[in-house]
Chain A
């Protein structure tokens, strides 16, 4: 395949990945990696390197928009970044020592999990109980403005959330994705942080975490300019347009359709991994 044709196909695919990724909240990486590996026969290590760059672009690009809507708790973000940066670098270092087939299978499983999380109705578990000892010591409890005035929230099970974030970081470094679904579990379900705060804080962390592992990928030569260029430009454009139409569109139906596609991609990745084709 010629460089020009390859670039055009990847650009179009990355655009779609970014668009659908932002409409469904899944992120672009989980779609661009199967596209590159399954459809274009690109080695999964190159796909991972290109994807992590697009994660930085989309998370940093949308942070500006998030500032208006939600309130980032910079302390929670910074505190949990201790876990995610160390583990993301660890994941990025070990990824080449793992058989690509296993990586494909792990990727497929994370895809299945993300699809399930996307369809599951989100429940806000937050409350105003601010008695947690660790949360108080690290000043993690906070408040955010609502129409009814300032609303306080308490942070729970800090250790559990920290451990889950460590796991999310490893997966992010290993597979080159933002692993948003795992971060949601850590922040919404385990630490019981309200949505308004968790969404933006998780986005804040995603860029920093991805930057930490991207450096490892860069030094290893996994970030190839010929792939990183169309992937990053395409995903960023798609995600930007996606966030513009997100306000108007009803995404419930789209999510179901998209979950089917994601499950199909996941099974393909697992099948190809198990049969040693990737």
Chain B
């Protein structure tokens, strides 16, 4: 009996997770599209130059810079913000899984989940790119 209840709980969690992911994708894509339209209206006639990668040319290479750009309603910052929302969508899924392991009192997997989350947060802290 315990087994089947376990399975249904898992299934519920997965349906909620599936919806969460879809909402995340739709939301972030709407932001990217909005930014994209403004971007094309303002810069559509400009020329592209992506021949050689130059990290200093990108103004929005940090979360802080993206938020500052949003305040000025800069189109490229809006696109980057949408990308940021998209990046956070699967991360939310990890957080959600940790909670569901906590409810199931599976502490080994709470620990594993927290570890995975820490790895991602460490990379978010921007210590890896010089």
Binding site for B on A (CB under 8 A): 1-4, 6-7, 40-46, 53, 56-57, 59-61, 63-67, 71-72, 74-75, 78-79, 81-82, 85-86, 89, 93, 96, 138-139, 143, 145, 150, 204, 207-208, 210-216, 218-230, 232-233, 236
Chain B residues lying within 8 Å of A230, measured Cβ to Cβ, are 36
7 A-B residue pairs with CB within 8 Å: A60-B22, A60-B25, A143-B3, A208-B93, A232-B29, A233-B32, A233-B33
Bound Cα distance from A44 to B15, whole angstroms = 37
Which of A67, A81, A207 is in CB contact (< 8 Å) with B14?
A: A67
Q: Known A3-B44, A61-B21; judge A227-B50 contact (CB<8 A).
A: yes
Bound Cα distance from A59 to B89, whole angstroms = 11
**Cβ-defined contact, A4 with B44, below 8 A:** yes
Per DSSP, chain B at the interface is helix
Chain B residues lying within 8 Å of A233, measured Cβ to Cβ, are 29, 32-33, 36
Which of A40, A67, A219, A232 has the most chain B CB atoms inside 10 A of its CB? A219
Q: Known A2-B47, A3-B44; judge A67-B17 contact (CB<8 A).
A: yes
Chain A residues lying within 8 Å of B62, measured Cβ to Cβ, are 218-219
**Cβ-defined contact, A45 with B53, below 8 A:** yes
Bound Cα distance from A52 to B50, whole angstroms = 17
Which of B21, B79, B123 is in CB contact (< 8 Å) with A225?
A: B79
